[in-house]
Structure 1
Amino acid sequence: MAEIPTQIKAWTYSEYGKSADVLKFDPAVPTPELKDDQVLIKVVVASINPIDYKRLAGFFKDTDSPLPTAPGYDVAGVVVKVGSEVKKFKVGDEVYGDINREALIQPKVIGSLAEYTAAEEKLLSHKPQNLSFVEAASLPLTIETAYEGLERAGFSAGKSILVLGGAGGVGTHVIQLAKHVFGASKVAATSSTGKLELLRNLGADLAIDYTVENFEDLPEKFDVVYDTVGLLEKAFKAVKEGGKVVNIVPPSTNEKAIFFILTSDGTVLDKLKPYLESGKVKPVLDPKSPFPFSQTVEAFSYLETGRVTGKVVIHPIQ
């Protein structure tokens, strides 16, 4: 392995605001120090999520890490150093994961939008052999969120589900996991007109164009409604009596909803590895991806439009 530098390139912010105003390239950030339960990763690809720009905007400033900080949760890369307590990985292993266990509470000062980042081994998994680094980096936060929501709702074989925002980062995985891992009897999902075919290809039995149809007015009701976009009151109109509504968009305004913020866990990625390696569950990359590291600000601006399909990734990191 090449020698690990003492300083690295990263995108950082020192104040809160719109990403285009506060995100700055820093060519001389100290390389993160390694704790005993962590590995140091040479970042190959990072992906970004709405939580990244919400963090920059100061939505979670009371519990954010000290500034300046480099954002980024999702990483795929190569282990270059291991802490003394690490057993799962060795130098040279290809890994991926969401590096922040508690998404909103003291996330890493050096996130994945840097040449190197450190993460606890329990947050990471070995990269599936059949996936590129770009594909792997697109997965962790969104696929773990999709999985955790289905688990919390008690979703199981034979149940029906409606996914609000089916073409987004989390929604694309809820459709696939519900259908191909949990054994849903019926999967319905909403998107705009141009993305309906994607929903069907991912496993949706019913693709609903929200620009022409109100899902809450459908005569059919569902065992679970998974709301990834923040339409909680309408979601409750689409759920069966005794059914569950999952919501991942704060603030959650209805206490009957199952609201949660992801707790990152590498064992979920381990569990889903057979489905990823068999191709039953696939990464979904936005057609504009990947953005080069030098265009990270442009990638954030695009993500903030809310029109992204699947995930936005940053590659190569250099």
Structure 2
Amino acid sequence: MASYSNVTIPSKTKAWLYAEHGNPVNLLKLDSDVRLPVIKEDQVLVKVVAAALNPVDVKRALGFFRDTDSSPPIVPGYDVAGVVVKVGDQVKKFKVGDEVYGDVNEKSLDHPKQNGTLAEYAAVEERLLALKPKNLSFVEAASLPAAVETAYEGLERTRFSSGKSILVLGGAGGVGSLVIQLAKEVFGASKVAATSSTGKLDLLKSLGADSAIDYTKDNFENLPEKFDVVYDAVGQMGSAIRAVKEGGSVVTIVGGGTPPAFKFVLASKGSILEKLNPFIESQKIKPVIDPKGTFPVSRVLKAFSYLGTGRIAGEIVIH
């Protein structure tokens, strides 16, 4: 492994950024004259090795939450995996040379950082990061934080517990693919059912789904069986409510929530990653990266374009 203790950190670095809101494929530019982010006392400076793209990056670029966003120019990117090259005075958990991963925006829609992870360096609060699982590459680790934290927090909010059944809408997506695994391996679900299109049913089964439902052929609302929890990762709340048992819960991460459904927005926490690291290192929880979803940093526009198709299985990662 390269030593990072005597690395010279430049004052200007490269980053992808956009100066106004709109389609990121048209607006993102690679700028090699970006000022290095200055770390605060509770932050570390991470040399970015890999960064993932999420649907929130597109919504943010389009200006969906401009009222609570940082002002442009914005370097997009929430997820990061990389190496600590500098630590703030108050940092206790990490030292220079540590391999870390995390979601750099504590509140995903409320003033996310102006400088995200599609850059050579990122300044990140220590509480948002965890040590990278030893068995994962940087690319694999970068695919996890926002999606696995969203999956975990959503299950926790529904008070999901051992012996309960769950239906995951959008089981092949970045969040859904992790909800299946967490429900089974971490929370002890009695039964996991999940929906996807025809070509992704095998993926659902490989992740641990007991029942893989082809939404192009079968209407899950009409199933005689109802579920303790429905996790809606695609925005089909009306249908989700019809599939839940009396007294059960529906959690959604897309669109609004009307009871018994509720919507929640992720708050990033390194402590969740720390809690899940043993499950990741024992391979009970595996990253799911789209077969065509790994791009070099020079092809960020291609990656955003692919993300825009909405046909992704798992995550997209830039390295």
State whether TM-score is above 0.5.
yes
Which residue identity lines up with residue 267 of structure 2 in the other structure? T
* 1:175-221 deviation line (CA, Å, top 9, x unaligned): 00000100000000000111101100101000000010011111100
Structure 1, gaps ≥5 residues long = none
What is the TM-score of this pair, normalised by structure 1? Answer: 0.98
Aligned with 1:246: secondary structure? strand
Q: Secondary structure at the match of 1:288?
A: strand
For residue 191 of structure 1, the aligned residue among 191, 196, 211 is 196
Equivalent residue runs for 1:131-150 within 5 Å: 131-150=136-155
Which of 13, 16, 23 is residue 11 of structure 1 equivalent to? 16
In structure 1, what is the equivalent of residue 205 of structure 2?
200
Mapping 1:1-318, distance limit 5 Å? 1=4, 2-250=7-255, 252-315=256-319
Q: Which residue type is aligned with residue 256 of structure 1?
A: P
**Kept after mapping to 2: 8 A contact 1:192/1:211:** yes
CA distance in 2, matches of 1:90, 1:42: 13
Aligned-pair Cα RMSD in Å: 0.7
Q: Cα offset for 1:300?
A: 0.6
Q: How many residues align?
A: 314
Deviations 1:42-80, CA, capped at 9 Å, x for gaps: 000000000000000000100111110101000000000
Q: Which amino acid aligns with 1:306?
A: G
For residues 298 and 256 of structure 1, what CA distance do their matches in structure 2 show? Answer: 39
Please state whether the residue corresponding to 2:292 is helix, strand or coil. coil
**Residue 146 of structure 2 aligns to which amino acid in structure 1?**
L
Give structure 1 regions of 4+ aligned residues with deviation exceeding 3 angstroms: none
Conservation of the 8 A alpha-carbon contact between 1:188 and 1:208: yes
SS of 2:294's partner is: coil
Farther off after superposition, 36-45 or 24-33: 24-33
- Counterpart contact for 1:11–1:23, Cα < 8 Å: yes
Separation in 1, partners of 2:114, 2:61: 13
TM-score in terms of structure 2 length: 0.97
Which letter does structure 1 place at the counterpart of 2:57?
D
CA distance in 1, matches of 2:260, 2:22: 33
Verify the 8 A CA contact 2:257 2:263 in the aligned structure 1.
no
> Is 1:153–1:258's contact at 8 Å kept on the other side of the alignment?
no
Q: Where does structure 2 lack aligned partners over 5 or more consecutive residues?
A: none
- Which amino acid in 2 is paired with 1:22? L
Name the SS for the 2:15 alignment partner. Answer: strand
- Could you tell me the percent identity over the aligned residues? 65
Deviations 1:108-135 (A, max 9, x none): 1110000000000000000010011010
Q: Distance in 1 between matches of 2:300 and 2:195?
A: 29
Q: What whole-Å deviation, never above 9, does each CA across 1:151-183 have from its counterpart, x for those lacking one? A: 000000000000000000000000000001000
What is the Cα deviation at residue 253 of structure 1? 4.5
Deviations along 1:66-104, one digit per CA (max 9) or x if unpaired, are: 110101000000000000000000000000000000101
